[in-house]
Amino acid sequence: MRVVETVAECRELLQQARATGRTVGLVPTMGALHAGHISLMTRARAECEVVAVTIFVNPLQFGDPEDIAHYPRTLDRDVEACTEAGVDLVFAPSVLEMYPHWPAPVATTVSVVGVSEGWEGASRPGHFDGVATVVAKLFSIAGPSRAYFGEKDFQQLAVVRQMVADLSLPVEVVGCPIVRERDGLALSSRNVRLSPEERRAAVVLSRALATGRALLEGGVHYSSTLAEAMRQVVESEPLVRLDYAVAVGHQDLVAREIIEDPASVRLLIAAEVGPVRLIDNCAGLEVASTQAVPARHLERIA
């Protein structure tokens, strides 16, 4: 496995791979790798001949200086995990490599209107501009490829898909199932910041989603009813402060009062648990391609 730190090296190595007829699978990450990330690498390894993982804590998508200051950075451990997962190339650039004039403002950024504007976009202004900008850069560096993203960050996935479609980028975006702990908590690099009490409380997010889906499967087709039921579940846990719990269209992420097709719905939730912001989601109806995946044997890496 190669570990490179420059744009030029990464671009050249992946161009060489394609020149010999090999397909490239790209897994963009911010490091602090867990079993969810490993599942993306495993999928890429199964479907592509060369797998590249990017590890970069992108300052453009952090609005809160405390959040980026406390974001876990575990590069040595991450490289070991990539090696064990059969990754061929790790691209781990510095901030100055990605943004040469940093900390001066980046002159050219990417903004995706519509799907980026609600929910996380409303709660974290500028976040998705930062995501779209860095992902566009990574796609430009990597070149034609298949890019693997987890469905836990469902709105981010929608933003990336919209950007790729609008800009005609030569990248196939692949959404991969959420990986969960045995008690249902979605894996996140931020989970390590939870105290034992907060960790136990955090599972209320997945319980709220399960409540919403059960109601939807039971014939409740009013999004306000689903949202209220999910809110009540979260409010039963005093350590958790709900931001939103909503039922939206899985493509446009717009909430509709009357849900005509439950299979087209995604339930989204976000909350503060102690000092940590957590998000989660699930399909309105159980679908094989979006089922949550338990961590199981991947827990050692998580």
Q: According to the model, what pLDDT value does residue 299 have?
A: 38
* Tokens of residue 202, six digits: 């955090």
Among the residue ranges 96-105, 123-132, 291-300, the one predicted with the least confidence is 291-300
The model's pLDDT over 67-118, given as tens digits with 9 standing for 90+, comes to 899 899 999 999 999 999 999 999 999 999 999 999 999 999 999 999 999 9
Average pLDDT over the chain reads 94
203 residue type, one letter: V
Domain that holds residue 215: 189-300
265-273 β-sheet, strand order: 240-249, 265-273, 276-283
The model's pLDDT over 173-228, given as tens digits with 9 standing for 90+, comes to 999 999 999 999 999 999 999 999 999 999 999 999 999 999 999 999 999 999 99
Q: According to the model, what pLDDT value does residue 288 have?
A: 42
Q: According to the model, what pLDDT value does residue 72 have?
A: 92
Mean pLDDT of 160-170: 98
Q: CB atoms < 10 A from the CB of 161, how many?
A: 17
Q: According to the model, what pLDDT value does residue 112 have?
A: 98
CA distance 201 to 205: 9
The model's pLDDT over 26-70, given as tens digits with 9 standing for 90+, comes to 999 999 999 999 999 999 999 999 999 999 999 999 988 888 998
Q: 127 in a domain, yes or no?
A: yes
Which residues are tagged catalytic? 37
Q: According to the model, what pLDDT value does residue 65 have?
A: 87
141 pLDDT more than 70: yes
298 pLDDT more than 50: no
| Confidence category of residue 292, pLDDT binned at 50, 70, 90 | low
| Confidence category of residue 301, pLDDT binned at 50, 70, 90 | very low
In a shared domain, residues 169 and 194: no
The model's pLDDT over 9-29, given as tens digits with 9 standing for 90+, comes to 999 999 999 999 999 999 999
Q: Last residue of some domain: 126, 155, 176?
A: 176
In a shared domain, residues 133 and 199: no
The model's pLDDT over 218-271, given as tens digits with 9 standing for 90+, comes to 999 999 999 999 999 999 999 999 999 999 999 999 998 999 999 999 999 999
Q: According to the model, what pLDDT value does residue 287 have?
A: 54
In a shared domain, residues 60 and 151: yes
CA distance 177 to 160: 16
Domain at 160, CATH number: 3.40.50.620
Q: 59 in a domain, yes or no?
A: yes
Total domain count for the chain?
2
Q: Last residue of some domain: 119, 149, 176?
A: 176
Q: 70 in a domain, yes or no?
A: yes
Domain at 227, CATH number: 3.30.1300.10
Sign of CA pseudo-dihedral 202, 275, 151, 15: negative
In a shared domain, residues 121 and 77: yes
